[in-house]
């Protein structure tokens, strides 16, 4: 107690959410670069493309036919928007990001560098001679409002239907969202996560780094999955899973501890077998 009484008088910031307050504090001290409205003369914007007021389109951006982009967009440089893509207001795209044909992005979407939205899904049909026939990937990738995708991640377009990232979801670097998958609202996919085709991830989930999911799997809302876990079947929500193949987190902790005792257990079973043999011959 005395320690507190000895403290000099201090100003204190009290908050029920210190991490959020920390975020706001950074905003007082750091100004990221701002990009004033204007179209750089080297930017190529197709005649039929529509870009709303207040846009900054930097050097060597390329916006193809029939694209629509809302107000206050920033396209940093070397951004490529393929034909027919539709993008909402307050779009921010860092250098070298790519939005493929017919994809649809909501408002306040942020793409970090090198992101590929709507690249072809990995779909091939086997032919009688063992070769693979490429399946057209006809469906767009759709990013709802407030989605951010970080550097060099790939959200593939769908074979048919769509790939959808729901509002407020955040995707870290080098993540793969396979064709026809759906990621729920406010879900976080951490670095190097991979979702095979047609995975459905619920809302408010966290998939930690390097988690992989099989295809055609459904993961309930508010699911937490430990780093490097592998998801082989549907998972109920509101639960914490770990391991590859993943199991309930508490089970996994017990398994990991047990695994380290296995060599010892083997020895004890051998000893028991010897003891039992002795008892039998008594």
Number of residues located near a copy of itself, criterion CB under 8 A: 108
Stretch of 1-9, 47-55, 97-105, 233-241 contacting a copy of itself, by CB under 8 A: 97-105
- Closer by beta carbon to a copy of itself, 9 or else 78: 78
Burial 198-228 (b: 16+ CB within 10 A, else e): bbbbbbbbbbbbbbbbbeebbbbbbbbbbee
Dihedral angle computed from the Cα positions of residues 77, 83, 85 and 91, in that order, rounded to the nearest 10 degrees: 20
Contact 226, 240 (CB under 8 A): yes
CA atoms of 79 and 72, how far apart (whole Å): 16
Of 77 and 89, nearer to a copy of itself (C-beta) is 77
The span of 4-12, 49-57, 70-78, 233-241 binding a copy of itself (CB under 8 A) equals: 70-78
DSSP secondary structure letters along 64-113: -TT-EE-TT-EE-SS-EE-TT-EE-SS-EE-TT-EE-TT-EE-TT-EE-T
- 40 classed as catalytic: no
Among 48, 50, 236, 265, binds a copy of itself (CB under 8 A): 265
Distance of CA 161 to the CA centre of its chain: 20
Rule CB under 8 A: say whether 176 interacts with a copy of itself: yes
The token duo for 265 is: 């257990």
| Pairing mode of beta strands 124-126, 132-134 | antiparallel
- Nearest residue (CB) to a copy of itself, 55 versus 147: 147
Using rule CB under 8 A, residue 180 touches a copy of itself: no
Write down the residue that tokens 């504090």 correspond to: 25
Stretch that binds a copy of itself, among 5-13, 67-75, 173-181, 233-241 (CB under 8 A): 173-181
The sheet with strand 230-231 has its strands ordered as 44-45, 62-63, 80-81, 98-99, 116-117, 154-155, 176-177, 194-195, 212-213, 230-231
> Which residues, numbered 142-171, are part of the site for a copy of itself (CB under 8 A)?
146, 148, 150-152, 154, 156, 159-160, 168, 170
113/239 with CB nearer a copy of itself: 113
Looking at the Cβ atoms of 54 and 60, the one nearer to a copy of itself is 60
By CB under 8 A, residue 256 contacts a copy of itself: yes
Per CB under 8 A, the list member of 70, 140, 180, 212 interacting with a copy of itself is 212
Among 138, 233, 234, 238, binds a copy of itself (CB under 8 A): 138
Cβ contact 128:166 at 8 Å: no
The answer to whether 13 contacts a copy of itself (rule: CB under 8 A) is no
Q: For residues 257 and 238, is the Cβ–Cβ distance under 8 A?
A: no
Active-site position among 179, 216, 240, 249: 179
275 binds a copy of itself, rule: CB under 8 A: yes
Which listed residue (11, 12, 13, 262) binds a copy of itself by CB under 8 A? 262
Work out whether 112 is an interface residue with a copy of itself (CB under 8 A): yes
So which residues are the catalytic ones? 179
């Amino acid at each position: 107690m005395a320690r507190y009484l000895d403290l000099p008088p201090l100003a204190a910031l009290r908050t029920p959410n210190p991490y959020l307050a920390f975020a706001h504090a950074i905003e007082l001290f750091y100004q990221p670069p701002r990009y004033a409205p204007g179209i750089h003369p080297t930017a190529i914007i197709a005649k039929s493309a529509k870009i709303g007021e207040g846009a900054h389109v930097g050097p060597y951006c390329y916006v193809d036919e029939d694209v629509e982009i809302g107000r206050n967009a920033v396209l940093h440089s070397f951004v490529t928007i393929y034909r027919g893509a539709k993008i909402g207001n307050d779009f921010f795209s860092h250098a070298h990001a790519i939005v493929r044909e017919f994809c649809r992005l909501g408002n306040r979407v942020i793409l970090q560098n090198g992101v590929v939205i709507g690249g072809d899904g990995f779909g091939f049909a086997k032919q009688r001679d063992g070769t693979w026939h490429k399946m057209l990937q006809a469906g767009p990738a759709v990013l709802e409002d407030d989605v951010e995708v970080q550097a060099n991640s790939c959200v593939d377009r769908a074979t048919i239907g769509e790939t959808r990232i729901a509002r407020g979801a955040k995707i870290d670097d080098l993540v793969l969202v396979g064709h026809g998958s759906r990621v729920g609202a406010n879900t976080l996919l951490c670095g190097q996560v991979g979702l095979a085709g047609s995975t459905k991830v619920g809302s408010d989930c966290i998939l930690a780094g390097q988690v992989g999911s099989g295809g055609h799997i459904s993961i309930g809302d508010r699911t937490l999955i430990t780093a490097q876990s592998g998801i082989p079947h549907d998972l109920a929500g509101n639960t914490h899973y770990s391991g590859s193949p993943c199991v309930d987190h508490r089970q996994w902790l017990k398994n990991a501890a047990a695994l380290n005792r296995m060599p010892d257990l083997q020895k004890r079973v051998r000893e028991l077998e010897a003891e039992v043999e002795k008892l039998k011959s008594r």
